[in-house]
């Protein structure tokens, strides 16, 4: 049960973080606006702050607001630090992107939305997938922030911690192996998708030359 709790939390939080982090990365890369420095500071803080500080601060906030600890608080806590990793990863992918490609598509009659989904999104998709995988792995692995905000909810790292205080049962080793194979499968899947995408781009370029 603890493993499925961790997978559920990781899936939900990583998807939310991938969407919000990508939006933040695109906004910071494309536009100059008042408050962009504060947004950058917000992104850096979770990366540089100790997990104990972030976890205890969020727990204090939830307690002051009377929020019941459980799935909601753990997901919010995970999203708070995942967003930074997603935004930084996607910004690295966007850096050097030629935004005139979108403008050229709109000059040819495409709407801004169509130009984004047909031109920009496929080019930054590998960065988004990499950021999602990273945030997913960080969520499953997290112990300290989860410990402060889980309440009675037991995730896989918390179960391992509790079991290790007495003796680690064989089931933990089996579940850990399953989790390792799942992580490897996700990475291999992402590599295959990126490889297929690169072949499609190369094939399209060859057809245009002919």
Least confident interval from 47-51, 91-95, 101-105, 169-173: 169-173
Asked, for residue 142, whether it belongs to a domain, the answer is: yes
H or E element: which one contains 85? Answer: helix 71-94
Asked, for residue 58, whether it belongs to a domain, the answer is: yes
Q: How many of the other CB atoms lie within 10 Å of CB of 148?
A: 22
Please name the residues in contact with 9: beta carbons below 8 A apart, sequence gap of 6 or more: 71, 74, 75, 78, 139, 155
Report the predicted TM-score, pTM, of the whole model to 2 decimal places. Answer: 0.80
Average the pLDDT over 73-88 and give the result: 93
Which structural domain range is residue 25 located in?
2-166
User: Rounded CA gap, 97 and 157, in Å?
Assistant: 39
Q: What does 171-210 look like in DSSP terms, one character per residue?
A: HHHHHHHHHHHHHHHHHHHHHHHHHHHHHHHHHHHHHHH-
Structure tokens at 159: 């179960």
Structure tokens at 199: 């072949």
- 85-110 per-position pLDDT tens digit: 999 889 888 887 777 888 888 888 88
- In SS3 terms, 108-177 reads as CCCCHHHHHHHHHHHHHHHHHHHHHHHHHHHHHHCCHHHHHHCCCCCCHHHHHHHHHCCCCCHHHHHHHH
pLDDT the model gives residue 210: 58
How long, in residues, is the chain?
Answer: 210
- pLDDT-derived band at 12 (thresholds 50, 70, 90) equals very high
**Is residue 208 over pLDDT 70?**
no
3-state secondary structure of 36: helix
How many domains is the chain built from?
1
Q: How far is CA 37 from the centre of its chain?
A: 22
User: Rounded CA gap, 13 and 186, in Å?
Assistant: 17
Asked, for residue 89, whether it belongs to a domain, the answer is: yes
Q: What is the CATH number of the domain that holds 26?
A: 1.10.3720.10
Asked, for residue 133, whether it belongs to a domain, the answer is: yes
Asked, for residue 73, whether it belongs to a domain, the answer is: yes
């Amino acid at each position: 049960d603890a493993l499925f709790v961790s997978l559920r939390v990781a899936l939900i939080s990583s998807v939310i973080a991938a969407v919000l982090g990508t939006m933040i990365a695109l906004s910071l890369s494309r536009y100059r606006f008042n408050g962009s420095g504060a947004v950058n500071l917000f992104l850096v803080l979770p990366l540089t702050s100790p997990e104990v500080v972030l976890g205890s601060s969020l727990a204090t906030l939830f307690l002051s607001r009377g929020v019941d600890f459980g799935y909601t608080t753990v997901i919010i806590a995970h999203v708070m630090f995942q967003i930074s990793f997603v935004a930084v990863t996607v910004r690295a992918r966007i850096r050097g992107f030629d935004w005139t490609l979108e403008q050229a598509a709109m000059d040819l009659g495409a709407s801004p939305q169509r130009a984004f989904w047909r031109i920009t999104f496929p080019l930054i998709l590998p960065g988004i997938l990499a950021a999602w995988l990273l945030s997913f792995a960080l969520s499953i692995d997290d112990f300290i922030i989860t410990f402060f905000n889980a309440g009675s909810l037991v995730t896989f790292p918390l179960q391992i911690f509790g079991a290790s205080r007495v003796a680690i049962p064989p089931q933990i080793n089996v579940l850990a192996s399953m989790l390792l194979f799942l992580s490897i499968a996700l990475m291999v899947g992402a590599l295959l998708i990126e490889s297929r995408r690169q072949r499609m781009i190369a094939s399209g370029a060859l057809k245009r030359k002919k």
